[in-house]
Structure 1
C-alpha cells in the first residue's frame, strides 16, 4: 500500500508535522504506521480528506470528543451532526446575550472615568508603507501629531483603496484634544461610522461590493492616555520596560479559538483559513455586514490605556506580524533607537522575509 511520510502528508493536507503529531496524540488522526525504531509516522493518501475535515472542525470550535465521532461518520450523517452542533452553538450565544447586557450595565454604573487631561505627552513617530510582492498597494496609514492609524484593505484592484478611504474619515481628529471637545471615544466611534458610510457610497459603483472593506487600528493620544479603536487583524502594541505587549485582539476566526484554548498556535499558523476575518469595516448591506447575518460587524473594540514618558507605541498591519516570527518582531520592537531607526529595522526584516504582502507600520515614542 502506498504510504506518505509525515512531511509529504503535511504538505498535501496543508497542515504542519507538529499539528499532525498533535492530532495523533489526541486520537483524532492516527498514522497507518509508526516506525518502531525512530517513531517516524506514515500516512495513507486516503487519510487526506479526514485530515482536512479535522482541521476544519477544529476551526469551528467543536470539542475533541465530538470531532472523533463526526470523523467516523459517513458524509451525510457527518453533515447532520455538524449542523446540529452549530445550531446549538448559535443558541448558546443567543442565551448569553442577556447575561452580557446585564453585566455591562452593572459595570458601567460603577465606572470611574479615566482622566485624559493629565500631563500632556508629546509623540515622535516614523512610518513605513511597503507594497511587498503584491500587484497593488491596499494598505494605508496616518502618522500625525496625536493620531496614528494603520489599515489593511481588500477589494478589486483599480477601485478606490478602502483602507485610504477609511483613514480619511479619522484625520480631522488629529488635533490637540481639549476638554471642551467632548468624549474622544465617542469621536472615534463616529469616525468608524463615517468610514462605513464612505465605503458604502463607494461600493455602490462596484460589480462585487461584497469583497470591499478594510481592517483599521487607530490610536489617539489625549493627555497621558491613548484611546484606541480597533477592528480586524491590524495590531496596536505597547513597549514598556523592554517588553512588547499586544493591546488589541485579532478579529479572526482562529484568534478566538486560540484564546479559548481550542486551537494551538501551530494549528493556526498552518490553517488555510488563518487570515479569515470575522470583523471588518465593510459597506452596509453587503454579505460582510452584520445586517446580512454573517457575524461580521463594523463595531470596533474601544480601549483606554494610561501611558507615560518613555513608552513606545507600535502599530502593525498583518503584513508585518504575520510574516515575522513573534520573538524576532518583539526584539526589533524593544530595540534602542529613535522611531525612524526602529521602523526601518522592522521594514528591512519584512523585506528580508520576502514581503509576501503589503505592509504598514508606525513607531511612536512618547515623552513629557
Structure 2
C-alpha cells in the first residue's frame, strides 16, 4: 500500500523563557524536533544550525529505510563536528548543544534517529505509545530500578542529559530504528516543553479528538501553556494516509521551520498560527518557577557515584534529624508525664483500704495508667469502715478528695461513727 504523509508544526517560547531554544522542521519526507541547551550562550544556535543542516536531507534520495537510518546517523555526526567547529570560531557559544528526534519516511516505513530527551510518540488505534527513550540521568535511574517513573517527573536532576549533539561530546551515540507505519497512524515529535509538563493521558485525549492536524498542534501547545509553560514548546504531527485518500489535509507548500530555525531562512517566516499568536499575548495561566537549564553530563558512572554518595550523606543527615526529632518528642512526652505524675502526688483522698477494710488516706489520684497505679497509701487510720455510720461508709466508699495530708486528716476526724 502506498502511504502519503500529512503534517503540521508549531513552536512557542513559553511563559518563562525569553528566547526559543527549540527548533522544528516539517518537510515532504523529513520531520524533526531539536531542543537546544546552553541558554543564551547558544542553545538556540545549536538547535537552529542542526535543524537547517538536517533539513537538507528532505530533498535527497535516501534509498531503503536502512540506508536512510545510516544516512541520518552519518549526517548527525557531521553536524556534531560542524557545531564544534562553530564554537571554535565563536568561543562565546562554548558548551552549546541540542537534542534531536526525527525521521525520514520511506514508503510505509520510517527511519528514526534520536539523541537526547525530545520524544517520538505514536497514536495508533486511539492508544498513545512512547517510541523513543530519553538519554537522561533520571532515565538511567529508572532503568536501574533506583527510582520510579513518577519520581523521575519531579527529580531534581531531570534536566541532566547523558547524550546530545554539540560542543560537549566529540563522538555522540545516536539511536536509530526502523518503524512500520500504516494509514491512520499519527506520529508526534515534541520537545520536553510538552511531554515534561503535560501528562500523556492529556496528550492522548487531545490527539484522539480527530481534529485537523494544525488545530491539534495548537491545542497541545495551548495545554502546555495552561500548565505555565516554563520551557519552550515545539510540536510536529505527522499522519500516515492512503496515497489516494480524498481527505488528505491541505498544507502550506514546501518545507516549514519553527522555533529558532525559522529565523534567517531565505523566503521563509517563522511558523506561527493565529492560535499560537494569540497565546503569545497576555494570558492568565498558572505560573510556575523557571525550569532548570538542561546540561550535559558525559561521566555517567562517576556522576552516578557522586550522586549516590551525596544521597547517602543526605540520608544520613535526614536519619539524624529524624532521630533527633524522635528523641525530642520522647523527651517532651517524658517531661510531660513526669510533671503530670508530680502533680498527682500533691493530691490526697480518703478511701477504703483494699486489704484492711479500714479508712485509709491515699496520696495521689484514684486513676491508673494501664497496670500502673497513680496512688499509694499515705496513712492507715486503723478505723474499721464498718464502725462508721451509714453516711460515713458511703462517703468513704465513694472516696473523699483532699488537697493536703492535713485536710485528709480533718476529713477522717469529721466522719460519723456508728454509736450502736
TM range (shorter): 0.5 to 0.7
2: CA distance, partners of 1:323 / 1:216: 19
- Aligned twin of 2:13: 131
- 2:164 corresponds to 1:307: no
User: How far apart, CA to CA, are the structure 2 residues paired with 1:187 and 1:141?
Assistant: 19
How far residue 271 of structure 1 moved from its aligned partner, in angstroms, is: 1.6
Shift of 1:336: 1.2
TM-score (norm 1): 0.62
Matches within 5 A, 1:252-271: 252-271=136-155
Whole-angstrom distance in 1 between the partners of 2:181 and 2:75: 23
The 2-side partners of 1:201 and 1:249 are apart by 29
Q: How far apart, in 1, do the equivalents of 2:198 and 2:115 lie?
A: 21
Partner SS for 2:104: strand
Q: Partners in 2 of 1:305 and 1:277 — Cα distance?
A: 25
Corresponding position of 1:363: 237
Matched, 1:226 2:110: yes
- Tell me by how many angstroms 1:209 deviates: 5.0
Match of 1:197 in 2: 81
The answer to whether the 8 Å contact 2:9/2:235 transfers is yes
SS of the aligned residue for 2:240 comes to strand
Q: How do residues 77-156 of structure 1 correspond to structure 2 at under 5 angstroms?
A: 119-132=1-14, 133-156=16-39
The structural deviation recorded for 1:211 is 2.2
Aligned equivalent of 2:202:
328
Instruction: Compute the displacement of 1:361 (Å).
Output: 0.6
Extract unaligned runs of 5+ from structure 2: 243-420
Q: Report the RMSD for the aligned CA atoms in angstroms.
A: 2.0
SS of aligned partner of 1:309: coil
How many residues are treated as equivalent by the alignment? 240
Task: Rate the CA distance shift 1:173–1:273 in 2: closer, same or farther, 3 A.
Answer: same
**2:71 equivalent in structure 1:** 187
Q: CA deviation at 1:266?
A: 3.0
Measured against aligned partners, the alpha-carbon deviations of 1:290-329 in whole angstroms (never above 9, x if no partner) come to x5xxxxx522100010101111111010011001122212
Normalising by structure 2, we get a TM-score of 0.54
Point out the structure with the larger strand share: 2
2:101 touches 2:119 (CA, 8 Å); kept in 1? Answer: yes
The 8 Å contact of residues 184 and 227 in structure 1, kept in 2 or not, is answered as: yes
| Alpha-carbon offset, residue 120 of structure 1 | 3.5
Is the 1:125–1:364 contact (alpha carbons within 8 Å) kept by the matching residues of 2? Answer: yes
Cα pair 1:169 1:194 within 8 Å, conserved: no
SS of the equivalent of 2:179 reads: strand
Provide the rounded CA distance (Å) in 1 between the counterparts of 2:63 and 2:155: 47
- The structure that has the greater radius of gyration is 2
Structure 2 contact 41–92 (Cα < 8 Å) conserved? no
Q: Aligned equivalents of 2:141 and 2:209: distance in 1?
A: 31
Instruction: Give the secondary-structure state (helix, strand or coil) at the position aligned to 1:211.
Output: coil
Q: Which secondary structure does the structure 1 equivalent of 2:164 belong to?
A: coil
CA distance in 2, matches of 1:308, 1:366: 6
Could you give the per-residue CA deviations for residues 56-88 of structure 1, whole angstroms, max 9, x where no partner exists? Answer: xxxxxxxxxxxxxxxxxxxxxxxxxxxxxxxxx
1:147-192 C-alpha deviation (Å, 9 max, x unpaired): 1010000125265610011112211211374648991112101210
Residues in 2 aligned to 1:314 and 1:137: alpha-carbon distance in whole angstroms: 20
Find the aligned partners of 1:227 and 1:358 in 2 and give their Cα distance: 26
SS state at 1:135 partner = coil
Q: What is the alpha-carbon distance in structure 2 between the residues aligned to residue 316 and residue 137 of structure 1?
A: 14
User: Could you tell me how far apart the structure 2 residues matched to 1:194 and 1:346 are?
Assistant: 33
Contact 2:66 2:111 in 1 (8 A): no
Runs of 4+ in 1 over 6 A off after TM superposition: none
2:307 aligned partner: none
